[in-house]
């Protein structure tokens, strides 16, 4: 544990090579849209410089815990490859306060130097707030910008009523909000993800396929986002994470039975996007960023998600609805709306570009921006046709989500028809291989579309 602290400290203090743009969403946020999960990177923190400790000690820890390091001439350390067995999950972002409780023995240390602050047998519920002088815990103010809380093996941390495995770090940000990061083993993280991302009554082979995709997606984010304070968000911006509280027997079984297995493309790690319902055909990964690669090329025919309640949908929008939504957005008012015209579609038929004709001007939008005007729950996918009716428009749509990668409802149906998890993954991510994550240790990992 102590070495892990040093490892994370050195990761913070090292000069970063590049700032990669990483897709945020399991569901909706393409890189091209400047996704929200990079916001924390832009916002920065007030965390003081991490005390690095003796160089030999840090290097020893890196050698013990990292898969590989890259040394420039003169032995300048520029990049440490993350340990694939761990992940850092942002479980609270930009919160003015959080409710913390600890069931069992714990140690609290200052983040910047590992100095013990407090040890206890348990912690009653206490509100933690960011204040100018540091962190306020109830009536006590700790003069630190960040603290780490390490529970004993039989103890558990509860944050805002959600029990978490692993340890947590609470950090004050510049705007006096909190960032709370859960440092947790990857497999434990997945137990709290799969139960949120898939119904536990789905066939085991479908759950296993989704577990492998979720593991790969998480690792991809870890390997491409190691230069900021966390690897993934604990919400649907990355993958929904319910912690220990959310774990269910069937989904935990799927995680355990696939432990360590990921999908790779010719030895490269890539973002295994997945979505609820493709609605007939999957989409090319280029809509999510620089991912026009074989496994994400899209065009996979899928009639297996017909049973999904989201296979077909309709949404009625009045002209007034549209005018109002546009006027309240960053695009500003375009006056009364006359028409909506789809001007460009992707090869899979999804809306790539459309025009909203206003009395004052015409607004040209991507399918993504159009959906964002009304909410991704209301306009479930970019796969829709626009029909004009008396007072507005009816969107006749199919599917839920961006459509890239694996269709979860399709995976469930394939499993019911007897296909294995490996066959399901091969269907939705063509020309890929199942790989044990242990093979990533002790060798440099190449990622697709990352830094």
Binding site for Zn ion (CB under 5 A): 278, 302, 305, 407, 410
Cα gap 398→311, rounded to integer Å: 5
Give 130's contacts (C-beta < 8 A, 6+ positions apart): 96, 97, 136, 172, 173, 176, 177, 178
Q: Which is nearer to Zn ion, 404 or 407 (CB)?
A: 407
Burial of 154 (0-12, 13-18, 19+ CB in 10 A): exposed
Minimum CB–partner distance for residue 248 and Zn ion (Å): 24
CB of residue 365 to Zn ion, shortest distance in Å: 26
Cβ at position 200, least distance to Zn ion in Å:
20
Question: d(Cα 448, Cα 451) in Å, to the nearest integer?
Answer: 9
Report in angstroms how near the CB of residue 232 gets to Zn ion at its nearest. Answer: 25
For Zn ion, the closer of residues 278 and 334 by Cβ is 278
Q: How far apart are CA 364 and CA 429, in angstroms?
A: 32
**Cα radius of gyration rounded to whole Å, the chain:** 23
CB 429 within 8 A of CB 295: yes
Sort 121 into a burial class: Cβ within 10 Å, 0-12 / 13-18 / 19+.
Answer: exposed
Q: Is 113 left (phi over 0), alpha (psi -120 to 50) or beta?
A: alpha
By beta-carbon proximity to Zn ion, the closer residue of 407 and 422 is 407
Q: Could you tell me if 44 and 94 are in contact, meaning their C-beta atoms sit under 8 angstroms apart? A: no
- Strand partners of residue 137: 128, 140
**Is the CB of 397 or the CB of 410 nearer to Zn ion?**
410
CB 356, min distance to Zn ion, A: 29
Nearer to Zn ion, 223 or 274 (CB): 274
Q: For Zn ion, which is the closer residue by CB, 27 or 407?
A: 407
Min separation Cβ 299 and Zn ion, Å: 12
Please give the distance of CA 43 from its chain centroid, rounded to a whole number.
18
* Nearest distance, CB of residue 309 and Zn ion, angstroms: 13
Distances (CA, A) of 443 to 61, 69, 132, 150, 175: 17, 9, 44, 30, 40
Question: Is 243 or 280 the residue whose CB approaches Zn ion more closely?
Answer: 280
Q: Which is nearer to Zn ion, 157 or 406 (CB)?
A: 406
Please, what is the angle between helix 408-416 and helix 421-428, to 10°? Answer: 140
Other CB atoms closer than 10 Å to residue 367's CB: what's the count? 23
Q: Are 180 and 170 in contact (CB under 8 A)?
A: yes
* Least Å from the CB of residue 250 to Zn ion: 22
What minimum distance in Å lies between the beta carbon of 411 and Zn ion?
A: 8
Residue 169 or 283 with smaller CB distance to Zn ion: 283
- 200 exposure class (CB count in 10 Å sphere: 0-12, 13-18, 19+): middle
Sign of CA dihedral 180, 185, 188, 193: positive
Q: Which residue number, 109 or 407, has a Cβ lying nearer to Zn ion?
A: 407
Residue 195 dihedral angles phi and psi, to the nearest 5°: -65, -25
Provide, rounded to whole angstroms, the least separation between the CB of residue 278 and Zn ion: 3
CB of 376 to Zn ion, least distance (A): 18
* Inter-CA distances, 62 with 2, 3, 144, Å: 12, 8, 26
Q: Which is nearer to Zn ion, 369 or 396 (CB)?
A: 396
């Amino acid at each position: 544990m102590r070495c892990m602290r040093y490892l994370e400290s050195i990761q913070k203090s090292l000069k970063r090579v590049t700032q990669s743009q990483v897709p945020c969403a399991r569901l909706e946020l393409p890189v091209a849209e400047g996704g929200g999960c990079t916001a924390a990177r832009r916002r920065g923190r007030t965390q003081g410089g991490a005390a690095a400790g003796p160089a030999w000690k840090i290097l020893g820890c890196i050698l013990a815990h990292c898969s590989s390091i890259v040394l420039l001439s003169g032995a300048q350390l520029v990049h440490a490859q993350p340990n694939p067995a761990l992940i850092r999950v942002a479980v609270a972002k930009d919160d003015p306060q959080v409710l913390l409780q600890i069931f069992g023995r714990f140690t609290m240390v200052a983040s910047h130097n590992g100095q013990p602050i407090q040890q206890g047998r348990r912690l009653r519920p206490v509100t933690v707030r960011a204040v100018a002088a540091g962190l306020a815990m109830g009536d006590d103010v700790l003069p630190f910008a960040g603290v780490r809380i390490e529970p004993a093996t039989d103890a558990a941390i509860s944050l805002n009523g959600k029990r978490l495995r692993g340890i947590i770090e609470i950090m004050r940000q510049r705007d006096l909000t909190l960032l709370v990061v859960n440092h947790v083993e990857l497999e434990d993280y997945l137990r709290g993800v799969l139960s949120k991302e898939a119904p536990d009554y789905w066939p085991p082979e479908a759950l296993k396929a989704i577990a492998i995709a979720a593991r790969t997606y998480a690792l991809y984010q870890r390997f491409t986002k190691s230069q900021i304070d966390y690897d993934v968000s604990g919400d649907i911006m990355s993958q929904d994470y319910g912690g220990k509280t959310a774990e269910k027997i069937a989904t935990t079984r799927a995680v355990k039975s696939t432990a360590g297995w990921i999908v790779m493309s010719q030895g490269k790690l890539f973002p295994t996007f997945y979505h609820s319902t493709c609605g007939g055909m999957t989409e090319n990964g280029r809509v999510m960023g620089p991912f026009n690669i074989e496994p994400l090329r899209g065009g996979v025919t899928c009639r297996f998600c017909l049973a999904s309640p989201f296979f077909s949908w309709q949404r009625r929008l009045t002209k007034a609805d549209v005018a109002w939504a546009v006027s309240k957005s960053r695009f500003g008012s375009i006056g009364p709306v006359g028409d909506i015209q789809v001007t460009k579609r992707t090869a899979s038929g999804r809306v790539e570009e459309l025009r909203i004709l206003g009395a004052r001007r015409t607004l040209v939008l991507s399918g993504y921006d159009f959906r964002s005007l009304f909410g991704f729950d209301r306009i479930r996918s970019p796969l829709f046709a626009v029909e004009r009716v008396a007072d507005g428009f009816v969107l006749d749509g199919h599917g839920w989500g961006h459509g890239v990668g694996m269709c979860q409802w399709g995976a469930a149906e394939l499993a019911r028809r007897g296909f294995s998890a490996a066959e399901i993954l091969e269907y939705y991510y063509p020309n890929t291989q199942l790989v044990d994550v242990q093979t990533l240790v002790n060798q440099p990992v190449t990622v697709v579309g990352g830094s």
